[in-house]
Amino acid sequence: MIDHSHPGADTLRRNEAALETAVKGASQLAQERTLLLREITLATQEKAQERQIFLIVINLADTKNYDEIIRIFGYKLADDLLSIRLADMDFVGTRQTAYRVGFWSVGLIFRARNKRDYDEELDRMLSVLAKPVICRGIPVAIKAGVGICDLMKASGSAEDLLQATYLAGQAGAASPLGVAECSYDSTVDHRRAFLLISDAAHSLATPYEFSLRYQARVDLKTGKCDAAECFLRWRHPTLGTVMPDEFIPLVEMTGLIRELTIWVLTASIAQMSSWHALGHQLKVCVKISSKNLEEEDFTQRVAALLENHKLAPEFLELEFSERRSVPDIESARARLRELRDLGVNISIDDFGTGTNSFGALESFTANAVKIDRRLIQSIVDNPRRQALVKSMIRMAHDLDMYVVAEGVESPAMLEMLGNWRCDYAEGFVINRPIPAEAFIEWYATRFASAK
């Protein structure tokens, strides 16, 4: 209960009221969605010879557009816009019931007697949606989209069909015609993505589902291996091996990226510490997500792991990339500074292919840059790319950073990079990412005796 005599009571009361409205809104949406799901199930069971039955989801505004509206006009006007647009859509309810299925979307079952009937209904919807909404005298253009699923042809559960049509509505908003048909592939992809997101937490807690592979980094001056970079692999119980390029971006959309990175750090730091105990003084390079840099206690967690495993911070290198944008530059900067102060090395990954690589050198204090493998792989017979890589190396050195070339696949590339004074190289020409036991065996036979 709230003490209403408190000076902040009004604010609290307002917050409480807003929360109550939001909760009510969410449960109403869930109820309407359930009703539509029941209609979809009934419609798919109908043996309609003379009719075509469609599920239609109208996305009243795409999310980017909505965010922009909020930024420019504020929440109040955005809410008013939604009410006006929903009232505009009243016509869809004249022949069939329209249900709210999302904050900005409505869904309905449309039974067309023939093709003409269908075309007319669609035109009617698109022409209403194309008009700007007049809100407090201001005409505001809203980008809407219509998603369509032919229920007589589609297969799958009512939920899958609704999800796929919802996605088609979003695709419709992005297309010039404003309409998109539901694609079965997108349902399969989204079902797979959903499965991966929902299973990640369980897999992280299950031994052997996630594991690490190690790849050598070699000093181009001495030819010795000084570090191992680790890459994550996921053996999903039903989907088999899933590669990080697929699951990392999905996990990054959830709060679980925090647990995932800590899992990788714990496993790799423990591994390194046991190799140090055997006399192999290797560094370990771990890729972190830019989202991790927003975690206020990230540095403390890294420090605690190093401490627990008795590994000196200089043996850890954290790689981060700007490829998937850095959401909060200020906290990222502060976190990188803390990590550097702790004695951990920082490298900017994917250098040379991001949209803002040179900006990254300015914004973030790092010890190293890693030139992206796509750039490295194109150097062999491309003089312009060669000039680019050479100048990147020079520039990094001028800024007191060392340079790692990744994705080196041939001895010719290795030689070229050595001649350009690139400091380190990684790639299939040296070794592929392999499990820990295989890596240390490989390392011991090649390098350990020459130490």
Judged by beta carbon distances under 5 to 8 A according to partner kind, the member of ligand C2E, Ca ion, none in contact with residue 287 is ligand C2E
Pairing of β 210-219 and β 434-435: antiparallel
Q: How far apart are CA 397 and CA 247, in angstroms?
A: 34
Long-range pairs for 38-42 at CB < 8 Å and ≥24 separation?
38/158, 39/97, 39/109, 40/109, 40/151, 40/158, 40/161, 40/162, 41/158
Nearer to Ca ion, 53 or 285 (CB): 285
Tokens of 347: 């490298």
Q: How far apart are CA 97 and CA 20, in angstroms?
A: 27
Give just the sign of the alpha carbon dihedral 171, 173, 178, 182.
positive
248 binds ligand C2E (CB under 6 A): yes
E strand or H helix at 447: none
Of 144, 188, 140, the C-alpha closest to 164 is 188
373 binds ligand C2E (CB under 6 A): yes
349 binds Ca ion (CB under 5 A): yes
For residue 312, what are the CA distances in angstroms to 136, 206, 301, 304, 440? 63, 29, 14, 11, 20
Q: How far apart are CA 448 and CA 442, in angstroms?
A: 9
Of the candidate spans 116-124, 285-293, 295-303, 441-449, the one that interacts with ligand C2E by CB under 6 A turns out to be 285-293
Nearer to ligand C2E, 264 or 311 (CB): 264
Nearer to ligand C2E, 17 or 243 (CB): 243
Tell me which residues in 396-425 interact with ligand C2E (CB under 6 A): 406-409
Q: How far apart are CA 109 and CA 37, in angstroms?
A: 10
253 binds ligand C2E (CB under 6 A): no
Nearer to ligand C2E, 33 or 324 (CB): 324
244 binds ligand C2E (CB under 6 A): yes
Tokens of 138: 């201001």
50 binds ligand C2E (CB under 6 A): no
Site string for ligand C2E, 302-331 (x = CB under 6 A): ------------------------------
434 binds ligand C2E (CB under 6 A): no
Select from 2, 26, 130, 243 the one that contacts ligand C2E (CB under 6 A).
243
Nearer to Ca ion, 199 or 349 (CB): 349
Of the candidate spans 104-112, 216-224, 341-349, 411-419, the one that interacts with Ca ion by CB under 5 A turns out to be 341-349
**Site residues (CB under 6 A) for ligand C2E?**
215, 231-232, 243-245, 248, 264, 287-289, 349-350, 373, 406-409, 426-428, 433
**Site residues (CB under 5 A) for Ca ion?**
349
